[in-house]
Structure 1
């Protein structure tokens, strides 16, 4: 497992009033999701924050809704100036914690982020031009 985030950063459930801040983090990573609004309403967005500022976000799709068994990471992103500090990993670990001891988490991603998912213990398979990970 990678090192954890800086001690001034904590992960919690995102709030609907943080939609703009979460969208800005996703936009900076050039990620789009139609799930942001519904996920915020359901409590399925995790945010990494420091001093009230959203530094990273993870959007989950509930069990079965993405055609997977278990929750699915629809998007995970960290502000560009805070990448490489363990924030993205902390978001994924928090999502895994929500799955319980017998649950698992899936993600579909590009090859350039494979090392990130491998460092978190995901089993990775090819799925067309993208990769599919299960943990």
Structure 2
């Protein structure tokens, strides 16, 4: 489970990360990263904790059971990776693609790690 201060909740923050952030895609996921100092846009509301994470799992992924299962799997994967993220203030949005519907947690975890490497957030 992600700690409450590390969760992305505001629509404006999601929109900022999705539209202005750097993007890295894999077969099942697209990761959007917005660094606090990366543009002249209005700054999001950063709290004491550096990186906040949000998830987008649309109806294209499947019915509500599949969407919620996918989101739970992604939350679990990200909770394990939070300590390895850099200590920069930023917004990370993980967007699930339709191919993520039948994926296991291991496959989703590998895709998240691949996306984070492509964004330069981990090694």
TM surpasses 0.5: no
Richer in strand (by share): 1
Richer in helix (by share): 2
TM-score (norm 2): 0.31
- Higher RCO (CA < 8 A, seq sep 6+): 2
